[in-house]
């Protein structure tokens, strides 16, 4: 069965992945509907899927026949896909889809379906298992993959959280080690699959303008700010087990911190990059309550499925310090939360002020305006902005705020950008670990978080649509949070 999809320009520079049988556990869940099936379809339409492949959806409950399952997938593509679903491409894609019931108790029927699909595809077929399952089901599911033989030679994609504390992370890693080798595991963090996140590396190491200034001599602070306007919205069961810190900080925000702070790797390989990122996490000071602010939005306890006395935080802000030569004295300010003023994903590098004031109005201007900042917007339409000060046109030497902006859609109009999950699934099929997370990184991050989790600050109430508890502003003093800039 051959594809009829014409390769894009970027496709021609990439070798096609090996033939695959892909199993999606949780195939009727929200992640599969919103991201995984639209992503796989887009890869197929772009000519980036293997020459031959099968996708087997799996879960406890059958959606009906294979045709019923295909209709569910097509509805998901229509609602969440990034491109038109043309009939001829859909027909070629959909005949590779099927569904098999399985559970953590019994994977025999699924194992038979996988072996049958591999025989159809042919010799040399690789096996990819995507575990989009609740945290409580992860360990039983991994054990089932071992006893059923499904894990043999397979690559496993694991969704966060990778444990809920140091002890559970070590337990999960121990269970995984009983069933698979570390190089078979791909712990996915979709923030690292974003084009803008990868551009942190490109911006740092490909430009002589910025690399020499990437240290404590020139940088005053770093802000990693991921506010969300949404509430928990139907995810009460999950959120009550995790909270904002476990859900976002110890995963996404810490991984972005690692990209910003790592030393130049010897070469841009997965091992070299992970080794340098692990050194960053090793240099992190243990987190304690006095360096953090937790909050809970008003009305959270009234949400369906939430304990009326819940102390789970829906907001977390903290100041992280790294004991390294490069970053001594530079605060890394992290913030995330639900029901905040707006939804954004920004990394801000704040530069130190010039040592001497030369302009007549520079003092008042500097008090009212941000210093020079480099901002990475991690949106689906990424931008990189450098905020500068410039002379306002006119007869007097008056300063004004200006910006140098790199808009990727305008700069690279013929680019073939992939959505984060698309890029990461493609990397797994190609066996590339670069943008994934290693077990020692995970355990170290839980280790530095352990003091804060054992003795967290009490969550402070904040209004919906605000920027969280006022106490969080003190962490970013004197400049404050970029996304919360107040006019003079």
Model confidence over 242-292: pLDDT tens digits? 899 999 999 999 999 999 999 999 988 999 999 999 999 999 999 999 999
Distances (CA, A) of 80 to 31, 33, 287: 11, 8, 38
- Tokens encoding 253: 């925000």
Specify the pLDDT at position 53.
97
DSSP secondary structure string for all residues of 179-214: HS-GGGEEE--GGGGSHHHHHHHHHHHS-TTTGGG-
Band of pLDDT at residue 451, cut at 50, 70 and 90: very high
Predicted confidence (pLDDT) per residue in 406-437, tens digit: 887 788 776 667 889 999 999 999 999 999 99
Q: Which domains does the chain have, with CATH numbers?
A: 11-159 (3.40.50.720), 192-420+439-484 (3.30.360.10)
pLDDT digits (tens, 9 = 90+) for 158-183: 998 888 899 999 999 999 999 999 99
3-class secondary structure, 337: strand
pLDDT digits (tens, 9 = 90+) for 327-374: 999 999 999 999 999 999 999 999 998 887 777 655 555 555 678 999
Global confidence as pTM:
0.90
Task: Using CA atoms of 295, 298, 301, 302 in order, give the dihedral in degrees to the nearest 10.
Answer: -160
pLDDT tens for each residue of 220-232: 999 999 999 999 8
36 is in an annotated binding site: no
Strands 97-101 and 185-187: unpaired
Which among 272, 270, 277, 274 is positioned nearest to 434, based on CA atoms?
A: 270
What is the overall mean pLDDT for the chain? 89
Torsion of CA 258, 292, 338, 283, to 10 degrees: 10
> Is pLDDT above 60 for 5?
no
Tokens of 65: 């026949």
Share of the chain above pLDDT 90, in %: 65
The answer to whether the annotation marks 35 as part of a ligand binding site is no
pLDDT tens per residue, range 327-339: 999 999 999 999 9
For residue 60, say whether it is annotated as part of any ligand binding site: yes
Q: What is the set of active-site residues? A: 252
Q: What is the pLDDT of residues 53-83, one digit of tens each?
A: 999 999 888 888 999 999 999 999 999 998 8
pLDDT tens per residue, range 200-216: 888 889 988 888 999 99
Q: Is 225 annotated as a binding residue?
A: no
Give the list of residues 6+ apart from residue 136 with CB closer than 8 angstroms, or none: none
């Amino acid at each position: 069965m051959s594809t009829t999809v014409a390769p894009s320009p970027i496709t021609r520079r990439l070798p096609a992945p090996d033939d695959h049988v892909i199993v999606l556990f949780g195939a009727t869940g929200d992640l599969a509907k919103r991201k995984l099936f639209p992503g796989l379809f887009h890869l197929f339409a772009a000519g980036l899927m293997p020459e031959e492949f099968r996708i087997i959806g799996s879960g406890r409950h059958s959606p009906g026949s294979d045709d019923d399952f295909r209709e569910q997938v097509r509805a998901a593509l229509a609602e969440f896909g990034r491109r038109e679903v043309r009939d001829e491409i859909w027909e070629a894609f959909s005949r590779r889809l099927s569904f098999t019931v399985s559970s953590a108790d019994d994977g025999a029927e699924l194992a038979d379906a996988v072996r049958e699909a591999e025989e159809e595809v042919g010799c040399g077929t690789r096996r990819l298992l995507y575990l989009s399952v609740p945290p409580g089901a992860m360990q039983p599911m991994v054990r089932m993959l071992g006893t059923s033989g499904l894990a043999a030679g397979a690559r496993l994609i694991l969704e966060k959280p990778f444990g809920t504390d140091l002890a559970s992370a070590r337990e999960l890693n121990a269970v995984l080690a009983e069933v698979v080798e570390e190089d078979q595991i791909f712990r996915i963090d979709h923030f690292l699959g974003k084009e803008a996140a990868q551009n942190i590396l490109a911006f740092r190491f490909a430009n002589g303008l910025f690399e020499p200034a990437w240290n404590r001599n020139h940088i005053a602070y770093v802000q990693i700010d991921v506010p969300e306007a949404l509430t928990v919205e139907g995810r009460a069961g999950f959120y009550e087990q995790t909270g904002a810190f476990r859900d976002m900080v110890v995963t996404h925000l810490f991984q972005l911190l690692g990209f910003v702070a790592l030393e130049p790797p010897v070469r841009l390989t997965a091992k070299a990059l992970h080794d340098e990122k692990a050194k960053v996490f090793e240099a992190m000071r243990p987190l304690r309550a006095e360096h953090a602010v937790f909050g809970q939005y008003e009305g959270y306890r009234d949400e369906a499925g939430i304990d009326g006395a819940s102390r789970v935080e829906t907001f977390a802000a903290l100041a992280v310090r790294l004991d390294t030569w490069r970053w001594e004295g530079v605060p890394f300010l992290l913030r995330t939360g639900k029901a905040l003023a707006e939804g954004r994903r920004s990394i801000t590098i704040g530069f130190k002020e010039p040592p001497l004031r030369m302009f007549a109005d520079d003092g008042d201007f500097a008090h009212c305006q941000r210093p020079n900042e480099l901002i990475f917007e991690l949106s689906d339409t990424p931008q990189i902005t450098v905020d500068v000060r410039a002379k306002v046109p006119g007869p007097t030497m008056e300063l004004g705020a200006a910006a140098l902006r790199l808009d990727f859609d305008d700069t690279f109009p013929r680019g073939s950008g992939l959505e984060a999950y698309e890029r990461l699934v493609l990397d797994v099929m190609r066996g590339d670990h670069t943008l994934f997370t290693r077990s020692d990184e995970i355990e170290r991050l839980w280790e530095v978080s352990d003091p804060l989790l054992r003795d967290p600050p009490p969550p402070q109430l904040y209004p919906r649509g605000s920027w969280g508890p006022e106490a969080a502003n003190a962490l970013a003093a004197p400049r404050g949070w970029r996304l919360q800039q107040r006019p003079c």
